[in-house]
């Protein structure tokens, strides 16, 4: 199962590396994850008030303007938006300020059992909802591009005994083994955000 997404220029979703604002380029991943979700809700859940002029293909300039709107809600800061509650508070305020009263968010902390987290992510994706994901440090250096970073899960598939999830970040998608992604090898972990009411 995979969610339909949208394009920003030629890229799938937003890409912080294309921002002219150096703060967004360096640490805007939470704001960009929220931008992507807001656009997705406008396109696929009839919430045009969350992104005016939503289309399946958005220009880079339009997206950067939207990023500037989202930046105060999930502003880049020392240490980053490194807690799930910061995302819930910031994006929740954006939703409230834009007249959205139905969408609710809860978190799945990174110390939840992997099997439970996988089932939760699968339920969300089956409902057709993206899953914002925060990955802090990880012992697997092959995942360095995803560490200390917010991105979204938009798909899931089985390969033998493994379950892969489709991640999207910086305008690209990657399939990653969920158990490997979840088992960071560190005490301090990130986790996932779940949407409800939509």
Compute CA distances 34 → 99, 171, 173, 177, whole Å. Answer: 16, 14, 17, 24
Q: Is residue 92 scored above 80 in pLDDT?
A: yes
Q: What is the mean pLDDT of the chain?
A: 92
pLDDT above 70 covers what percent of the chain? 98
List the Cα angle 3/193/180 in 5-degree steps: 75
The top-level CATH class assigned to 108-193 is alpha beta
Q: Is residue 78 scored above 80 in pLDDT?
A: no
Decide: 67 and 28 in contact? Cβ < 8 Å.
yes
> pTM for this structure?
0.94
pLDDT (0 to 100) of residue 8: 93
Residues of the chain with CATH 3.90.70: 108-193
pLDDT (0 to 100) of residue 43: 92
pLDDT above 90 covers what percent of the chain? 74
List the Cα angle 103/155/198 in 5-degree steps: 15
Residue with tokens 């930046």, as numbered in its chain: 71
- Read off the pLDDT of each residue in 109-127 and give the average, rounded to a whole number: 95
Q: Which of 165, 132, 134 is nearest to 147 (CA)?
A: 134
């Amino acid at each position: 199962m995979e969610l339909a997404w949208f394009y920003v220029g030629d890229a799938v979703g937003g890409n912080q590396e294309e921002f002219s604002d150096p703060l967004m380029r360096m640490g805007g991943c939470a704001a960009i994850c929220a931008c992507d979700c807001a656009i997705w809700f406008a396109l696929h859940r009839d919430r045009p008030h969350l992104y005016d002029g939503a289309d399946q293909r958005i220009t880079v300039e339009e997206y950067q303007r939207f990023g500037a709107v989202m930046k105060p809600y999930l502003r880049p800061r020392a240490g980053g938006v490194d807690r799930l509650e910061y995302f819930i508070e910031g994006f929740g305020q954006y939703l409230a300020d834009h007249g959205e009263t139905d969408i609710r968010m809860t978190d799945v902390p990174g110390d939840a059992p992997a099997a439970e987290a996988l089932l939760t992510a699968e339920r969300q994706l089956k409902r057709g909802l993206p899953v914002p994901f925060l990955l802090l440090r990880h012992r697997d250096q092959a995942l360095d591009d995803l560490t200390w970073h917010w991105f979204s899960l938009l798909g899931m598939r089985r390969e033998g005994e493994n379950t892969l999830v489709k991640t999207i970040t910086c305008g690209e998608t990657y399939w990653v083994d969920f158990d490997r992604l979840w088992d960071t090898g560190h005490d301090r972990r990130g986790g996932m955000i779940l949407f409800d009411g939509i």
